[in-house]
Amino acid sequence: MAMTGVLRPGHACIRVLDMKEATHFYGEVLGLIETGRDSFGRVYYRAWDEIEHNSIILREADSAGMDFMGFKVDSEASLDRLEADVRAYGIPTERIPAGDLLQTGERVRFQIPSGHQIELYAEKARLSTPQSGNNPPPWNPEAERGIAPIRFDHALLYGPDIEKVQDLFVNVLGFHTSEQIMLEDGKTQLAIFMACSSKAHDIAFVRHEEPAKLHHVSFYMESWEKVLRAADLMSMHKISIDMGPTRHGVTRGTTIYAFDPSGNRFETFAGVQSSYPDHETLTWTWDEVGTAVYYHDRQLNPAFLGVVT
C-alpha cells in the first residue's frame, strides 16, 4: 500500500525543568543535533539521519511531560481534508500559524480523548545533510557522537478512553492497529499500538486514569549492538535507567528505558517487526502481559504502569 495522508511522527515538544541540564543531555549524551532556538526559549533538535529541521523540541517549564506530538502529512490538501474529518468526527481543531515552530508550516492541533495534544502538519524545512542529495554515504561522524539515534520514532502515551483514541486514529487518521494487550477480562484493552506506516508502531497508548501523560518518547537505533552501546553511554554519564537492555514481546523491539534529567522517560530501541494494514492485530493476553512488555523478565516492573510525566 502506498503511503498517503499521515506519513510519520514528525515532532514532540518535551517539557524540561532545567534547560541547561536538558541541552547537555539531549545534545551531548543523546547526541541529537541542535538546529535552533526561538524567542520563547525553546530549543530544537534533529537526529543525524532525519531530513527535516526539527523532531525534538524542548521547552523549560515547572513540570515535566509532553506538550504535544506532531505528525507529518503528505500535502496541504491532506492537511485540509484531515482537519475537516477530525472536526466532522466531533473534535474541535485549531490552526497554529506557520513559523510558531521554527521552519515549520501551519499546524492543525486537536485534543484526543486521552487528553493529549496531537498535531498534523504538511510543511517543514528540509535540511541539506550528509545523508541527503546524490550518492549519500551510509553515515557521518554525527552518527557516532553520543547515543546518536537514527530518528525520533514513536511515543507511548498514557491516558483514559484509549478505545476512543483507537477509533479516531484508525477511522479518521488512517492508522492500523498492529498489536494490543488485553486486561484480565479479555475484552478491555490495557494497551494499543498503532501505525500509519509499515513500522511496528508510530504511536501507542496505555489505559491510565490521569489524562495527557507521557510514558516515553522513543529513538530508533541501527542495531542491538547500538542499543548496548547506548546502555554503556547511559552508565558512563550516570543516566537514570528504568529497564533493560532487554526485549519487548510486543513489536519484538530490543530496548532500554531511561530518564532524561527532568524525569521524562525515553527509549533507545532497534529491530522491530513490520506491520501492514492487512495483517491481523497481534493480541497479547493478560496472563502473558509480563512477556508482552519485557520478554526476558516476564513481569512488569511497577514503574512501567506507575511512573509517567
**Residues that bind other proteins in the complex, under the rule CB under 8 A:** 17-18, 62-65, 183-184, 190, 207-209, 240, 242, 259-265, 286-291, 298-300, 302-303, 305-309
What's the closest the beta carbon of residue 30 comes to other proteins, in angstroms?
14
11, 53, 201, 215: the active-site residue: 201
Q: Which is nearer to other proteins, 131 or 264 (CB)?
A: 264
Distances in Å between the alpha carbon of 307 and those of 14, 216, 274, 300, 303? 16, 10, 28, 12, 5
45, 216, 220, 294: the active-site residue: 216
What's the closest the beta carbon of residue 301 comes to other proteins, in angstroms?
8
3-state SS, one letter per residue, for the chain: CCCCCEEEEEEEEEEECCHHHHHHHHHHHCCCEEEEECCCCCEEEECCCCCECCCEEEEECCCCEEEEEEEEECCHHHHHHHHHHHHHHCCCCEEECCCCCCCECCEEEEECCCCCEEEEECCECECCCCCCCCCCCCCCHHHHCCCCCCEEEEEEEEECCHHHHHHHHHHCCCCEEEEEEECCCCCCEEEEEEECCCCCCCEEEEECCCCCEEEEEEEECCCHHHHHHHHHHHHHCCCCEEEEEEECCHHHCEEEEEECCCCCEEEEEECCCCCCCCCCCEEECHHHHHHHHCCCCCCCCHHHHHCCC
Is 34 part of the annotated catalytic residue set?
A: no
11, 53, 116, 154: the active-site residue: 154
Is 216 part of the annotated catalytic residue set?
A: yes
What's the closest the beta carbon of residue 29 comes to other proteins, in angstroms?
13
52, 116, 248, 294: the active-site residue: 248
Is 53 part of the annotated catalytic residue set?
A: no
What's the closest the beta carbon of residue 64 comes to other proteins, in angstroms?
3
Q: Which is nearer to other proteins, 38 or 288 (CB)?
A: 288
Is 215 part of the annotated catalytic residue set?
A: no
What's the closest the beta carbon of residue 238 comes to other proteins, in angstroms?
10
Q: Which is nearer to other proteins, 130 or 263 (CB)?
A: 263
| Structural contact between residues 284 and 206, judged by C-beta atoms closer than 8 angstroms | no
Count the Cβ atoms, other than its own, within 10 Å of residue 196: 24
Is 208 part of the annotated catalytic residue set?
A: no
220, 257, 294, 295: the active-site residue: 257
What's the closest the beta carbon of residue 88 comes to other proteins, in angstroms?
33
Is 257 part of the annotated catalytic residue set?
A: yes
Q: Which is nearer to other proteins, 38 or 297 (CB)?
A: 297
Q: Which is nearer to other proteins, 101 or 289 (CB)?
A: 289
Catalytic annotation, residues? 154, 201, 216, 248, 257, 267
